[in-house]
Structure 1
């Protein structure tokens, strides 16, 4: 599987790769594409899929994906032949979309031609054109719709808003995306290795969120907060645990033992003695 390097992390543009990452490898990422003409909406987002730095590095380290950079190819000015070929492909796609839209328009017209014909005849009669109204037929209505059809380019679907369509290549990227020795990456990899669904926890003031299953089907069960040391100030402890209670999740602190590289997880629960 190939990941495209953009903005310092990996992106996925293929829907089959996206489904494989989600269903087989429990890698969620975040859909950041625009799904409609009104603009981007988190509830209607589409491909590409943006992976976190930890997710990208994990896929590379596990041998599940290869990261490539297409910067050199996509920033190079295309030749005249490539521009002409891309323009021909674009024109062909637009013509195909226009044909489909026109065919659908004609089917709708034929389905409601009696109502349309009646409305046009009534309009002509009100204008004092009774003879024209009597002479108007269904075929005239259908032919008029066909002759007046125009394809608005605002309704067109363009695959890539750039001159490069399919003729581009990538260069293998071997530099690390994030520090493999950092505690955050090691915690992410450890939790993922335990079979957990792990996503970014920024929205909840945490480092990670843990889900019991696919986030489309389950709410997060734990928030994970990474500590550089086992010690934590009382007020900070209270604030984090209270936050987890508010969002109905368990609070997990992850830190490293001082005498080794062993990651320790400490779950803290809020206790109300009055209940």
Structure 2
């Protein structure tokens, strides 16, 4: 177990599901590491919650494994990281809240953001223009003759406050794991644990290293959809199904089903045979010929 992320992207584990809560981390995973995941959070103003979704981003278990093995992410145990505060810490936190008017707890390392000279100059110019405009309107009102229907009113000035949104309270101590072995020993992450899951992870990593993007292929009768580039720009070319062993038989009816389903969705079905001894993958494609 490590005390910090050590420059890695944090994956917050909840019930054996890896979630990403940072927009910047989502962009980095997609643009740099061609990992897409699936957005699962709802958006208040989106009419179709099955089309437009928001944070958090949920990752496939194979995506988690390949990212951890290549030193890109760290697995965070949020449940264990939130420890109960001591009486002294709680009393200190309450004193800070009282001193700051029940706002955000004070962080000793936090420094209020300061404006640059250019930003300060622009703010002063906007304030001067606003005051000049208010003065002009006031002069126009004063110059008009008062009538029984004329009333005078004054505007209340508005003020804005910047409150730092921080959650670095004293009793949050990050507990993260940098390897799958450490996470398994702690009971935080158990995938892969079977021969089939190991085969899927091996095939996924092989395709990932070739530069492909992978998405969930459940709707198309396979394990993943294989894209030549970002799914926002490309259609998938293959529906991949992992065969855990090279000696495992494939029924003729399965071959027919794979071929018909792939043709109906304008894709080729990709059979991925995993060799546990050599740690290599054999690929075979199935598609109907003579159509169209």
Q: Secondary structure at the match of 2:285?
A: strand
Deviations, residues 194-215 of structure 1 (Å, cap 9, x unaligned): 1111122122221011111111
Please give the secondary structure, in 2, of the residue aligned with 1:31: strand
1:32 and 1:49 in contact (8 A); partners too? yes
CA contact (8 A) 1:34 1:40 kept: no
Return the alpha-carbon distance in structure 1 between the equivalents of residues 238 and 91 of structure 2. 55
Give 3-state SS (helix, strand or coil) of 1:170's partner: coil
Matched, 1:172 2:176: yes
Q: Secondary structure at the match of 2:26?
A: helix
Moved more, 77-86 or 220-229: 77-86
Q: 1:88 aligns with which of 97, 103, 114?
A: 103
Change (3 A) 1:5 1:206: same
User: How far, CA to CA, are the matches of 1:246 and 1:218 in structure 2?
Assistant: 18
Q: Which runs of 4+ in 1 moved over 6 A?
A: none
2:72 maps to what in 1?
64
Structure 2: where are the runs of 5+ without partners?
1-7, 106-146, 157-163
Q: Which residue of 2 aligns with 1:31?
A: 39
Asked whether the equivalents of residues 35 and 213 of structure 2 are also in contact (C-alpha less than 8 Å), the reply is yes
**Residue 73 of structure 1, CA deviation:** 3.4
| Unaligned residue ranges in structure 1 (runs of 5+) | 91-130, 147-158
* Superposed CA RMSD: 3.4
1:143-162 equivalences under 5 Å are none
Number of residues paired by the alignment?
Answer: 217
Q: Partners in 2 of 1:43 and 1:237 — Cα distance?
A: 32
**Residue 44 of structure 1, CA deviation:** 2.2
Residues 25-82 of structure 1: CA deviation (Å, up to 9, x unaligned): 0011111122216788232211221111111111110011111211023374793654
Aligned position for 2:82: 74
For 2:234, what is the secondary structure of its paired residue?
Answer: coil
- After superposition, the Cα gap between the structure-2 partners of 1:73 and 1:262, relative to the gap in structure 1 and judged at 3 Å, is closer
TM-score w.r.t. the length of structure 1 is 0.66
Which residue, out of 254, 262, 266, partners 1:244?
262
TM-score (norm 2): 0.63
Distance, in Å, in 2 between the alignment partners of 1:202 and 1:76 is 41
Name the SS for the 1:214 alignment partner: coil
